[in-house]
Structure 1
Amino acid sequence: MAAWQTRVHALAAARNAVILAHNYQAPIIQDVAHHVGDSLALSRIAATSDAETIVFAGVHFMAETAKLLSPAKRVLIPDQAAGCSLADTINADQLRAWKAEHPGAVVVSYVNTTAEVKAETDVCCTSSNAVDVVRSIPEDREILFLPDQFLGAHVRRATGRTNIHVWLGECHVHADISPSDLVESVRANPAADLYVHPECGCTTSALWLAESGELPAARTHVLSTGGMLDHARRETSRQVLVATEIGMLHQLRKANPTTDFQPVNPKAACPFMKMTTPEKLEACLGDPSLTRGYEVDVPADVAARARQAVERMVAIGNPGSGE
């Protein structure tokens, strides 16, 4: 694959393009990218890059976010059909109807949403700053939190607020990392630490295990993908169980080769993330006159309103990790 990587880098240089790969991409895609990370961090890196073209190896809403933050740049995605089961749980019409049922409520949208949904949002949040964003809203204001029900439940627990209405959406991959998967993994590996993404259906069980003492609280960590990577760099435990999409293991193992990172559910692979193949990535970087089918754009009026929701989040404080 060395020859393929050389070709891809040569095409990127010729097109003045920067290649971004999400943590959940296949290892071969991660290894050829100029930058690997979560969607928001990657989009912010691209916005400061001198590159004229952004190639986003991820899912569609991520490429849209890159376009929001780099409106003058060309944004390409290797497969336009790479969607997101979480983002697809709510559209702009559904959000407008929900807002009509709760006039005056503040809409907080996770970054894992389409640009059209962000345009109907008051302020965005990431998995690492969702609690801070909600705490910045006056306690007497109702909140509509969307679209992830598990992240919403985590925010409710952390803030103690009872006036948060949570959309019943979920990432199918994270939802399938079940409480039983978690309990079985912890009991089979009693000396291991635990990293759990707040989108997971097993987050409550992880906290219960910590509260019961079966897994010491000091070894139980609810973290965004960026938080997992930061924690992995200073990890001293011999083994860590990881509850998130399995593509994340590649970056964790690179960050800390001395710790044994194992998935709570080894089948937790996102089919949309794996739609980016070496062949598609190379084709995406081909002759610019032939690659219009890879381009992602956002209507100017939608982009302007969506960008405001992201900027309000940044104004509250460090947005940290996107997912």
Structure 2
Amino acid sequence: MAAQVEELKRQHDAVVLAHYYVPAATQALADHVGDSFYLARLARTLDCKTIVLAGVSFMAEAVKMLNPSRTVLNPEPRANCPMAHMVRKADVDAVRERYDDLAVVCYVNSTAQIKSWSDVCVTSSNAVKVVGELPQHNILFIPDMNLGRYVREQLPQKNVILNRGYCPTHQRIIPQEVEQLELEHPEAEVCAHPECSEEVLREADFVGSTKQIIEHIANGDGREYIVLTVVGVAAEITRLTEGQDKRVYFPATPPICPNMAMVGPEKVLRALQTGEGEVELPDCADRAAAPLERMLELAAR
């Protein structure tokens, strides 16, 4: 399969991008593996006609908006993200009416329509930096309440208003299972994604984005780590820590994103063979792309 994918990439002048959360076999076929911010930023620099984005639908949509002239293929269009839809326009409008000095900050884990309601996008790796760069005092953070709460704690000078959205996979990580891991592995450092609940983050020694967690473990002096994010990160951690005798532990209920799990390697192969899953620009593309562009600008400062 890998040989077929390589040949098809040459034929179609294609590059395969994969998120850390898709299956390890899919990551192995990719030219670049990363988190949503890395992939969005990288897509702008690629010299190719076609981009295959192995991830969930909002990621492929964002890459298309940032690269409107390129063909973007989504190997599994049914792979959606529940949190990407968890905000209502009426709620955004109500907060805008209440505050004059307001910025609507939208996590990239959102549909193009929701992005179009916002002023700037963020990812988990740059949310604190981008919000800190904004001149507005009042921040409506959509759609993820857990990442929004984490940003509020890091930036107490801002009035961060939360929306009641969440990632179901990270929300299913519960303190009891984390505490059990801590009892079983008392020397292990607890690394958590900010999409986890407030109760789980209290158990964490390190809080960071997917990429930040991976790099923290790869560069850390410790030998044992409890990892509180989607199990797909294990592939990259294993690759980067080869020969370091490091061990990672996940909760007893494995944090598996069912949508990311749908993006198997056979889907990448089929997309390259048939051209199926081509992503179209949404009607609101111009309005939705502007917050993405502003994110790239502020994150680069």
Instruction: Tell me if TM exceeds 0.5.
Output: yes
Is this contact kept in 1: 2:99–2:138, CA < 8 A? Answer: no
| Residue 104 (structure 2) pairs with residue 107 (structure 1) | yes
Distance 1:160 1:19, change over 3 A: same
| Residue 147 (structure 2) pairs with residue 151 (structure 1) | yes
- Match of residue 305 from structure 1: 287
Other structure's SS at 1:191 match: coil
Is this contact kept in 2: 1:177–1:265, CA < 8 A? Answer: no
1:298 positional shift: 1.9
Q: How does 1:155-304 map to 2 (within 5 A)?
A: 155-161=151-157, 163-201=159-197, 203-207=198-202, 209=203, 220-257=205-242, 258-288=245-275, 291=276, 294-299=277-282, 302-304=284-286
Moved over 6 A (4+): none
1:174 positional shift: 0.3
When the two structures are superposed, what TM-score results if normalisation uses the length of structure 1? 0.86
Distance 1:136 1:44, change over 3 A: closer
- Match of residue 58 from structure 2: 61
1:158 positional shift: 1.3
1:45-96 deviation per Cα after TM superposition (whole angstroms, max 9, x unaligned): 22211110111110000001111211110111111111002112125x3455
Distance 1:99 1:7 in 2: 51
Distance 1:287 1:268 in 2: 32
- Match of residue 78 from structure 2: 81
Is this contact kept in 2: 1:235–1:259, CA < 8 A? Answer: no
Distance 1:98 1:52, change over 3 A: farther
- Match of residue 214 from structure 1: none
- Match of residue 215 from structure 1: none
Distance 1:74 1:265 in 2: 40
> Identity of counterpart residues, as a percentage?
36
When the two structures are superposed, what TM-score results if normalisation uses the length of structure 2? 0.92
- Root-mean-square deviation (CA), in Å? 2.0
Q: Structure 1 stretches of 5 or more lacking a match?
A: 211-219
Stretch moving more, 178-187 or 221-230: 178-187
Is this contact kept in 1: 2:173–2:253, CA < 8 A? Answer: no
Other structure's SS at 1:48 match: coil
Q: Structure 2 stretches of 5 or more lacking a match?
A: none
1:253 positional shift: 1.4
1:189 positional shift: 1.0
Distance 1:20 1:30 in 2: 8
Distance 2:193 2:35 in 1: 13
2:225 aligned partner, one-letter code:
V
Is this contact kept in 1: 2:87–2:164, CA < 8 A? Answer: no
Equivalent residues, number: 298
Is this contact kept in 1: 2:36–2:123, CA < 8 A? Answer: no
